Amino acid sequence: LAAAAAAKASAPAAPAGDELDFFESLEDAVEDDEATQEAAPMEVDSTPTTAAAATATATATAAVASPPAVPEPAEVASAPVLPLASKQNLIDKALQVPPEVPPGQDDQFTALMKQPIEEVRSMLAEIDLPSKGLQKALVVRLLRSLTGLPPCKADEKMMLKWAQDQARQQEEQRRQQLLEETREAMRKKDLEEQQRKQQQQQQQQQ
């Protein structure tokens, strides 16, 4: 419309007879311009805005940078810790003198219970007694043997089996000794026989 008005203003004055034709051509030009604008498709800017692009980039970066969550391992239950009073009760119970200890040997029992168990086993081995069992049983066994008392009731079956095993071992050792003595006697007899033959050969040569 502005372009048409400008054209009209700049155009020379038309004669009176042609003025109607001039306005009709002007209206046709305006209608053609409006039709052209309506028919032309509106251009849509498909480029994302700066804020939207920044948001999308930040989301993609966060997805790459943060790895998937790893479940934490289950906590391992730790062994229960006995209170100091309970430990002392266990020690007192271990050092309690049993009735199997010979009379007058309470102090010796307490002293041996405070020694390493290997020390007690070594003492039992020196007097040829079995060294299997808990330390309390070993100490009782040692003290009863040193004082000349028989094994306690708890040791009777074990000591009987041990005595039988010892007897079998001694019998086997005795058998091996007899076999060795027999072999030695045979070797001695063979040597004497060789010496006798050598003497006979020497006498024949003379």
SS (H, E, C) 147-198: CCCCCCHHHHHHHHHHHHHHHHHHHHHHHHHHHHHHHHHHHHHHHHHHHHHH
Spell out the residues 6+ positions from residue 130 whose beta carbon is closer than 8 angstroms to its own.
124, 141, 158, 159, 162
pLDDT at 14: 45
Residue with tokens 């079995």: 130
Spell out the residues 6+ positions from residue 26 whose beta carbon is closer than 8 angstroms to its own.
4, 8
Least confident of 54-58, 151-155, 197-201: 54-58
3-state secondary structure at position 21:
helix
Q: How confident is the model at residue 158 (pLDDT cuts 50, 70, 90)?
A: confident
pLDDT at 15: 44
**Chain mean position to CA 15:** 112
The per-residue pLDDT for range 181-190, each reduced to its tens digit, is 999 999 998 9
The per-residue pLDDT for range 55-105, each reduced to its tens digit, is 655 554 544 445 555 555 555 555 556 566 666 666 666 678 888 999 999
- Write out the two tokens for 185: 């006697």
pLDDT at 182: 92
Q: How confident is the model at residue 121 (pLDDT cuts 50, 70, 90)?
A: very high
DSSP 47-60: SPPHHHHHHHHHHH
| CA separation for the pair 140, 156 (Å, rounded) | 13
Overall average pLDDT of the 128-134 stretch? 89
SS3 content of the chain, % helix, strand, coil (to 5): 70, 0, 30
Overall average pLDDT of the 26-48 stretch? 52
Q: Is a pLDDT exceeding 60 seen at residue 166?
A: yes
Mean residue pLDDT of the chain comes to 73
| CA separation for the pair 70, 193 (Å, rounded) | 92
The per-residue pLDDT for range 138-147, each reduced to its tens digit, is 999 999 999 9
| CA separation for the pair 88, 122 (Å, rounded) | 28
Q: How confident is the model at residue 197 (pLDDT cuts 50, 70, 90)?
A: confident
